Amino acid sequence: MDTISRENNSPLPLAGVVIGALALIIGGYAAINVIKLKGVVADQADKVAKIDDIASQVQTAQAASDKAARDISSLASQTQTAVTQIANDLAAIHEQVKHLEETHVAKAGKGVKGEPAVAGPGEYIVKAGDTGSKIARANGCTLSDLESVNAGVSWTHLKVGEKLKLPEKKP
């Protein structure tokens, strides 16, 4: 029996062919999915690059924001220092003005040689608490007569030591 029989009824070769065909189909399907997956990965890589770019911009913006906050804090401190200096200067000026006013009032209440001012005939020296009406009543005249002989006097701001003319008394 040396001859090889031409009839071989074994299903093994047919199974090998079927398995090989299935392997080719699965391999082709896998290759198609790998190609699609490469496209998805490439799209994701672009998105990751964009996210990295946005993260970089966020860090830059954060640094700028921190610098702005420090600058604002510094400006607030400098402004407070300047306002405090202005307040101190105004207080000093106020004291100087107050001193000048006191000196002026003291000089206005004194004569030429530093003596107290004396009212001459028909004159009145303003005292603390005086008003135009009070002065008019005390001197037997009307306020309008008193105002008419003292043009230029500020009746709402009478100064202690200021000399006023008195109108002539009517007989």
109-158 pLDDT per residue, tens: 554 445 555 556 789 999 999 999 999 999 888 888 888 899 888 888 89
How many CB atoms are located within 10 Å of the residue 54 CB? 10
What whole-number distance in Å separates Cα of residue 68 and Cα of residue 62? 10
Residue 91 near residue 135, CB atoms below 8 Å:
no
3-state class (DSSP) for residue 83? helix
Closest-CA residue to 166 (of 120, 122, 117): 122
Domain 117-165 carries which CATH code? 3.10.350.10
Cβ neighbourhood burial of 139 (10 Å; 0-12, 13-18, 19+): middle
pTM, full prediction: 0.39
Alpha carbon distances (Å) from 47 to 33, 50, 59, 117, 150: 21, 5, 18, 95, 91
27-81 pLDDT per residue, tens: 999 999 999 998 888 888 888 999 999 999 999 999 999 999 999 999 999 999 9
| Half-sphere exposure in the Cβ direction for 136 (13 Å, CA) | 14
Residue 166 near residue 141, CB atoms below 8 Å:
yes
3-state class (DSSP) for residue 164? strand
Q: How would you classify the pairing of strands 163-165 and 123-125?
A: antiparallel
Backbone phi and psi for residue 148, each to the nearest 5 degrees, phi listed first: -65, -30
Is the predicted pLDDT of residue 9 greater than 90, yes or no? Answer: no
